[in-house]
Chains A and B, each alone.
Chain A
Amino acid sequence: MIDSLLQDFTVFILAIFIGYEEISKVPVILHTPLMSGTNAIHGIVLVGAMLVLGSANTPLSHVIGFCAVVLGTVNVVGGFLVTDRMLQMFRKPAGQRGS
């Protein structure tokens, strides 16, 4: 029990450092896409939703799990699509334009 908790914690702490390092490199002009892109990434909670819905065994837990999967998918699909829409608008500097 403690071992697995410690393993999870190790991952958690390392991820904080990676997150901090990677994000500090992002320039101001990309802050909106960054936010909406990371917004899509936390949609990974969908994986958790699928796991709990997949092992649901009462009608109520089916309903709750179903709602979780719907919300998680909205987060993932909406998040990535909207980020792509934004990024596709960021044009190259004048001269080498042409989409």
Chain B
Amino acid sequence: MTTAGPLATAIHAAYLLAAVLFILGIRGLSSPKTARSGNLIAAVGMLIAVIATLVDRQILSYTWILAGVVLGGAIGTIAARTVTMTAMPQMVALFNGSGGGAAALVSSLEYRHLIAEMGTLPIDSGVSILLGALIGAISFSGSVVAFGKLQGIFTERAITYPLQKVVNGLLTATILVLGGMTLAGSGGMPVFIAFVGGALLLGVLAVIPIGGGDMPVVISLLNSFTGLATAATGFALHNVVLIISGTLVGASGTLLTILMCKAMNRPITNVLFGAFGAGAPAAAGAGAGGSGGRGATLAGQSVRDVSVEDAATILAYAQSVIVVPGYGLAVAQAQHAVRELADILKARGVHVEYAIHPVAGRMPGHMNVLLAEANVPYEELKDLDEVNSDFERADVALVVGANDVVNPAARTDTQSPIYGMPILDADKSKHILILKRSMKPGFAGIENELFYDPKAMMLFGDAKDSITKLVAAVKNL
């Protein structure tokens, strides 16, 4: 099965080296200073593993391999070079799906290979092959659906229908039966194909009831799935570098998923099956569905509009301003405008920092990447624990396209779906300036009492547009 002799030893040594380089690469990612070289180290590890594989004597023909590498390399390069930073979550989802798809295909081929060679499926390789095909296929179709949601091809809202959990449960049971039949050697190829088909369907059905705001969790979970599918493939092929790398990624994705869920104070089962954000509940307050009307009311309270000039004055004469970015910043592509505003405020002696909620945006760390693109020094980006005590001393909390992560209901309203989620304490600053497109509720579909806070001022409009106007207004002061 494997190449023997000194060549085999060399290949194994190269795989070991690659695995070590992956680990060192990930270690490099633990600090902004070494992160870029860490990524490079991991890439070198990958190159070494690929070259070592090419000299393996199992490989009989190179034509197809080279053609595939050239084609895949071209697609990957073009995609990675042209994607905008705001589209990063869906790009990561798509690359992840490619990996999952590859793992499923490799497992399927190995299945064909073993059946052709031995007639039956040995139990140990069999289990690995089935796991690789199952998890890889779920990861592939799930990632494609996540991509579609993030790209806006179809609705970001959670899609629900009657008996959804029953349908998914039955499908899972069917897949398990088909897998069992394949292991037992009955049914042959058609059953295996049905098994993979069922897994693909499950990936789709599992992701459609998850709303856009929970995408950070879904993407890191799917990332971990592809890692585990890769590790399973490694078991099937008895290839150590696949096992190590796949498992590293599986562990990393799982850990990130747990961190995201903790940040929202919701168990993973609630994220996956809760259909959070399925639609605005019959909310108090008229026109919550998107009438976008000014002066919408919550229990008789009304929001306070502010003019650009007044907002600019408040910002310019503040001592310290904390910017709270949310997904709306990404949608409006306002990161460069925000940076410009921060620059002119800093030139006037205002202290500016950014408060980043762990689940702001659509993937872990989304806001950090966007602001980094706009050349905001990473030391000005503060996470929840670091920044929350600063709000009390801040003159202005500038909320740009964020909603649920600053909703005080998470602290006080036990009935609220987001109750218990740690939030940014924007309501504790002296003024709260909120840039918002309309009064439409955020992803969770719930009213935000912050907007009705006596200290809050609303500046309606596209975030980028509003900030550009603020910049001009501050310059004129």
Tell me, yes or no, whether B106 is within 8 Å of chain A by CB.
yes
Residue interface mask B16-58, A partner, CB < 8 A = 1 = 0010001101110111110110111011001001100110101
Whether the Cβ atoms of A80 and B30 lie closer than 8 Å is no
Main secondary structure of the interface of B (DSSP, over half): helix
Whether the Cβ atoms of B58 and A19 lie closer than 8 Å is no
Chain B nearest Cβ from A2, distance in angstroms: 8
Whether the Cβ atoms of B65 and A42 lie closer than 8 Å is no
Whether the Cβ atoms of B248 and A45 lie closer than 8 Å is no
Whether the Cβ atoms of B364 and A42 lie closer than 8 Å is no
Given known contacts A33-B369, A68-B102, A93-B377, is B29 in contact with A15 (CB within 8 Å)? no
Segment among B175-183, B292-300, B378-386, B420-428 that sits at the interface with chain A: B378-386
Partner of B60, one of A27, A31, A42, A54: A54
Whether the Cβ atoms of B29 and A55 lie closer than 8 Å is no
Residue interface mask A59-84, B partner, CB < 8 A = 1 = 00110111111111111111111111
Whether the Cβ atoms of A75 and B378 lie closer than 8 Å is no
Chain A nearest Cβ from B62, distance in angstroms: 8
Partner of A15, one of B30, B103, B235, B243: B243
Whether the Cβ atoms of B102 and A75 lie closer than 8 Å is yes
Residue interface mask B292-327, A partner, CB < 8 A = 1 = 000000000000000000000000000000000000
Q: How many residue pairs at the A-B interface have CB separations less than 8 Å?
A: 376
Whether the Cβ atoms of B363 and A42 lie closer than 8 Å is no
Complex-state Cα separation, A93 to B235, whole angstroms: 45
Whether the Cβ atoms of B249 and A32 lie closer than 8 Å is no
Chain B nearest Cβ from A75, distance in angstroms: 4
Given known contacts A91-B377, A93-B378, is B56 in contact with A82 (CB within 8 Å)? no
Complex-state Cα separation, A94 to B379, whole angstroms: 9
Residue interface mask A1-40, B partner, CB < 8 A = 1 = 1001100100110011011101111111111111111111
Complex-state Cα separation, A52 to B61, whole angstroms: 11
Whether the Cβ atoms of B58 and A54 lie closer than 8 Å is yes
Partner of A42, one of B50, B105, B230: B230
Tell me, yes or no, whether B250 is within 8 Å of chain A by CB.
yes
Complex-state Cα separation, A16 to B234, whole angstroms: 15
Partner of B230, one of A36, A45, A50: A45
**Most chain A Cβ neighbours within 10 Å, of B23, B35, B88:** B35
Chain A residues closer than 8 Å to B407, beta-carbon distance:
none
**Most chain A Cβ neighbours within 10 Å, of B40, B80, B243, B244:** B80
Minimal Cβ-Cβ distance residue in B for A68? B105
Whether the Cβ atoms of A82 and B91 lie closer than 8 Å is yes
Whether the Cβ atoms of B99 and A37 lie closer than 8 Å is no
Whether the Cβ atoms of B109 and A65 lie closer than 8 Å is yes
Main secondary structure of the interface of A (DSSP, over half): helix
Segment among B68-76, B206-214, B396-404 that sits at the interface with chain A: B68-76
Whether the Cβ atoms of B35 and A33 lie closer than 8 Å is yes
Chain B nearest Cβ from A91, distance in angstroms: 5
Partner of B244, one of A15, A26, A34, A51: A15
Interface residues of B in 221-260 (CB under 8 A from A): 223, 226-227, 229-231, 233-235, 237-253, 255-256, 259
Whether the Cβ atoms of B241 and A44 lie closer than 8 Å is yes
Residue interface mask B360-393, A partner, CB < 8 A = 1 = 0001111011001101111101010000000000
Chain B residues closer than 8 Å to A25, beta-carbon distance:
27, 30
Complex-state Cα separation, A16 to B245, whole angstroms: 10
Chain B residues closer than 8 Å to A71, beta-carbon distance:
72, 98-99, 101-102, 105
Chain B residues closer than 8 Å to A28, beta-carbon distance:
356, 358, 364-365, 368, 383
Interface size class of B (residues with CB under 8 A): 35 or more
**Most chain B Cβ neighbours within 10 Å, of A16, A61, A90:** A90
Tell me, yes or no, whether B161 is within 8 Å of chain A by CB.
no
Whether the Cβ atoms of A22 and B122 lie closer than 8 Å is no
Tell me, yes or no, whether B112 is within 8 Å of chain A by CB.
yes
Tell me, yes or no, whether B67 is within 8 Å of chain A by CB.
yes
Whether the Cβ atoms of A73 and B72 lie closer than 8 Å is yes
Tell me, yes or no, whether B59 is within 8 Å of chain A by CB.
yes
Chain B nearest Cβ from A36, distance in angstroms: 5
Whether the Cβ atoms of B72 and A69 lie closer than 8 Å is yes
Whether the Cβ atoms of A19 and B247 lie closer than 8 Å is yes
Given known contacts A44-B230, A47-B50, A78-B79, is B59 in contact with A55 (CB within 8 Å)? yes
Given known contacts A19-B251, A22-B30, is B68 in contact with A61 (CB within 8 Å)? no
Minimal Cβ-Cβ distance residue in A for B374? A89
Given pairs A41-B248, A44-B241, A68-B101, 18 additional interface contacts (CB within 8 A): A4-B238, A15-B231, A20-B251, A30-B35, A38-B223, A38-B227, A38-B248, A41-B245, A42-B223, A42-B246, A44-B230, A50-B59, A55-B113, A65-B105, A71-B101, A73-B73, A84-B40, A91-B377
Contact surface of A with B, Cβ cutoff 8 Å: 1, 4-5, 8, 11-12, 15-16, 18-20, 22-56, 61-62, 64-94, 97
A-B contact list, 16 entries, CB within 8 Å: A18-B23, A23-B256, A35-B252, A36-B92, A44-B245, A49-B102, A53-B64, A55-B59, A69-B68, A69-B102, A72-B98, A75-B95, A76-B76, A78-B98, A84-B40, A92-B33
Nearest 10 A/B pairs, CB to CB: A73-B72, A19-B251, A54-B59, A69-B68, A77-B76, A78-B76, A31-B365, A32-B365, A81-B80, A15-B247
